[in-house]
């Protein structure tokens, strides 16, 4: 069921039954901005019904980044302009076939059948650092937010102090540093300067109120700072990738049984980024890209 956020928010949240995934619809006047609609067809049907019931029209569809679980929506909204960050063009050119395969495999595992194979939709509009959108009199900005993915973006409604944080700042996931540790830290430092009282992650529950929002930022910034500190210390001691993973094993992070593999991959990725010797047994997130 859609989740209506407390007034004055004009955002409606659509949690999926899988992956604790969130899609969203932001309405201004009679225009709707769709954020990462998915995952299943019935999830997207609820998005479409909500827009219809609001007597609104889709203005644009924002894909926050090109990981397989975020790219399923555009095929359900033909003719609606798709917006992504500029670097998505290179990501789709390099990894598009792999992303399509990941979608196909997920659909197979989920028992989803289709008449035609899934094909990625390239963006109709891109931007570099910031894009301002007029939405029925409402002003919404899209901001480049790399770190989890090179092309990741967030959606910010300054008037409502609302931040759609894409795959960051979750209550159930640690930071997945699939792109770049330094970029991730810089992104969080920059976003932490915004006035935000409602924060929605791509996976997990929203944070409401300044204290909850601040706690999300503090938790993830602390984790990333400690990760970098320990990996740098391991490198300065001449440790291997495997030894660095061991050195970082005692770090504190949320829901250890669920996030243990992601933490290990973060360590391996940071080890390589910070100058460690590549080890094919410890490729980090590269094994999925």
The mean per-residue pLDDT over the stretch 116-142 comes to: 97
User: Does a structural domain hold residue 21?
Assistant: yes
User: Does a structural domain hold residue 272?
Assistant: no
Cis peptide before 267 (omega within 30 of 0): no
Sign of CA dihedral 165, 74, 144, 148: positive
User: Does a structural domain hold residue 86?
Assistant: yes
User: Does a structural domain hold residue 163?
Assistant: yes
pLDDT at residue 8, as a whole number: 61
CATH number of the domain to which 197 belongs:
3.60.15.10
Report the alpha-carbon distance of residue 215 to residue 225 in Å, rounded: 15
- Residue 118 confidence (pLDDT) above 90: yes
pLDDT at residue 4, as a whole number: 62
Query: How many domains does the chain divide into?
Result: 1
Partners of 140 in the beta sheet? 133
pLDDT at residue 2, as a whole number: 74
- Residue 160 confidence (pLDDT) above 90: yes
Report the alpha-carbon distance of residue 181 to residue 184 in Å, rounded: 5
> For residue 207, how far is the Cα from the chain centroid?
15
- Residue 25 confidence (pLDDT) above 90: yes
pLDDT at residue 1, as a whole number: 66
User: Does a structural domain hold residue 260?
Assistant: no
Q: What is the pLDDT of residues 199-247, one digit of tens each?
A: 999 999 999 999 999 999 999 999 999 999 999 999 999 999 999 999 9
User: Does a structural domain hold residue 266?
Assistant: no
pLDDT tier, 7 (very low <50, low <70, confident <90, very high otherwise) = low
pLDDT at residue 148, as a whole number: 99
Domain assignment of residue 120, given as a range: 3-221
The residue to which tokens 């792999």 are assigned = 98
Closest CA to 56 of 7, 10, 9: 10
- Residue 3 confidence (pLDDT) above 90: no
User: Does a structural domain hold residue 192?
Assistant: yes
User: Does a structural domain hold residue 137?
Assistant: yes
Q: What is the pLDDT of residues 27-69, one digit of tens each?
A: 999 999 999 999 999 999 999 999 999 999 999 999 999 999 9
């Amino acid at each position: 069921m859609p989740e209506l956020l407390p007034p004055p928010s004009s955002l409606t949240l659509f949690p999926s039954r899988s992956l604790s995934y969130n899609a969203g619809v932001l309405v201004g006047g009679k225009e709707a901005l769709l954020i990462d609609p998915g995952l299943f067809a019935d999830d997207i049907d609820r998005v479409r019904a909500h827009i219809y019931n609001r007597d609104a029209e889709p203005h644009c569809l924002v894909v926050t980044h090109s990981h397989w679980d975020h790219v399923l929506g555009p095929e359900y909204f033909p003719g609606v302009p798709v917006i992504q960050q500029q670097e998505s063009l290179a990501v789709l050119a390099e990894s598009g076939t792999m992303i399509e395969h990941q979608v196909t495999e997920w659909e197979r595992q989920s028992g989803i059948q289709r008449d035609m194979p899934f094909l990625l939709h390239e963006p109709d509009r891109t931007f570099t650092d910031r894009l301002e959108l007029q939405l029925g009199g409402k002003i919404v900005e899209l901001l480049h937010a790399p770190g989890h993915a090179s092309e990741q973006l967030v959606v910010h409604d300054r008037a409502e102090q609302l931040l759609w944080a894409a795959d960051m700042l979750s209550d159930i996931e640690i930071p997945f540093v699939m792109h770049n540790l330094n970029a991730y830290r810089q992104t969080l430092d920059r976003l932490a300067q915004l006035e935000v009282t409602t924060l929605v992650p791509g996976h997990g529950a929203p944070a409401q109120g300044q204290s909850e929002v601040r706690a999300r930022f503090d938790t993830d910034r602390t984790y990333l700072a400690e990760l970098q500190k320990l990996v740098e210390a391991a490198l300065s001691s001449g440790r291997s990738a495997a030894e660095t993973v061991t050195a970082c094993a005692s770090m504190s992070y949320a829901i250890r049984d669920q996030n243990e593999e992601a933490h290990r991959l973060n360590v391996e990725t940071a080890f390589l980024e910070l100058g460690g010797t590549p080890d094919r047994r410890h490729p980090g997130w590269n094994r999925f890209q």
